[in-house]
Amino acid sequence: MKEPDVFYILGNRVRRDLLSHLTCTECYFSYLSSKVSVSSTAVAKHLKIMEREGLLKSYEREGPFIGPARKYYDIVMRRTYVVTITPGVFWYRGIDLGEPRVTRVEIDVSNVKDDGTLLGTVASCIKLKNELEKTIEILRSIESLRDRNMELIKERFMKEVGDLTQLAILHYILLNDEATVEELSDRLNLKEREVLAKAQELDRFVPLKIKNGTIKIDPERLRAQTESDSDGGKEV
């Protein structure tokens, strides 16, 4: 399969929003159309582009109610991209994710110095490239583990809670550390009061800090609850 043109795909806001929803779970067409502020015709065009580039697959599946089968979309790619753009470097690489390969590496650039010569600078560039390869390997492992954890979160959240909008809020916060109600309203195509209500419901299952229009995980409450759950599993 050819390398997908991810930069072309990600250059469009609607496609980025569609991918954000699809990272939460597979979605049927009408649900995706309801979550972005463009026509269903435009949504179909964007989905077709991403399917053509190999990011998505589509299939039909019977719904829980009587009626025609729904067309679903799902992300099939598992890659991370590294890109650098400076006056001296334009470089990018797609990295396949899979099983973590390394858990610890030592990065050392202390011996990379400019000795004032062309060949010395070339040698330093090669040393830096070697250190970069180590960094890429640890990045591959971290992203593989993070991908696995996000899949487990989705599976357990939908089993225990079952609210896709709450999952989308949690997913976005986990990836971005925090989010404003306004930002989530725009991304989820919901009214701000609806986002706030969903976040307050989510707080019953995952401890959140909701203050001044910003939502993020509450680390102290999370730590206390995980420690409490751990203690509760021990025999007395």
62 in the same domain as 84:
no
Q: How far is CA 9 from the centre of its chain?
A: 15
Among residues 115, 145, 175, the one where a domain terminates is 145
For tokens 């065009």, what's the residue?
Answer: 45
Indicate whether 127 belongs to any domain: yes
Indicate whether 154 belongs to any domain: no
Q: Return the exposure string of 187-210: e unless at least 16 CB atoms fall within 10 Å of the residue's CB, then b.
A: bbebeeeebbebbeebbeebbbee
106 in the same domain as 50:
no
* Alpha-carbon torsion angle 45, 26, 28, 43, nearest 10: -20
The count of structural domains within the chain is 3
Give the CA count within 13 Å in the CB-facing half-sphere of 166: 21
What's the confidence (pLDDT) of residue 61?
Answer: 78
**Domain that residue 98 falls in:** 80-145
Indicate whether 69 belongs to any domain: yes
91 in the same domain as 65:
no
Indicate whether 1 belongs to any domain: no
pLDDT along the chain (236 residues), means of 10: 83 93 89 91 96 93 70 93 95 91 91 92 94 95 95 95 94 95 92 96 97 96 88 54
128 in the same domain as 108:
yes
CATH of the domain at 37: 1.10.10.10
* DSSP at 109: -
Q: How far apart are CA 97 and CA 101, in angstroms?
A: 10
What's the confidence (pLDDT) of residue 173?
Answer: 96
pTM of the model as a whole: 0.84
Indicate whether 153 belongs to any domain: no
What's the confidence (pLDDT) of residue 236?
Answer: 37
Please report the beta strands in the chain, taking only residues with DSSP state E, as ranges in sequence order: 27-28, 56-61, 70-75, 79-85, 90-96, 178-180, 208-211, 214-217
65 in the same domain as 10:
yes
Among residues 25, 41, 75, the one where a domain terminates is 75
71 in the same domain as 22:
yes
Q: How far apart are CA 157 and CA 225, in angstroms?
A: 16
Among residues 145, 176, 196, the one where a domain terminates is 145
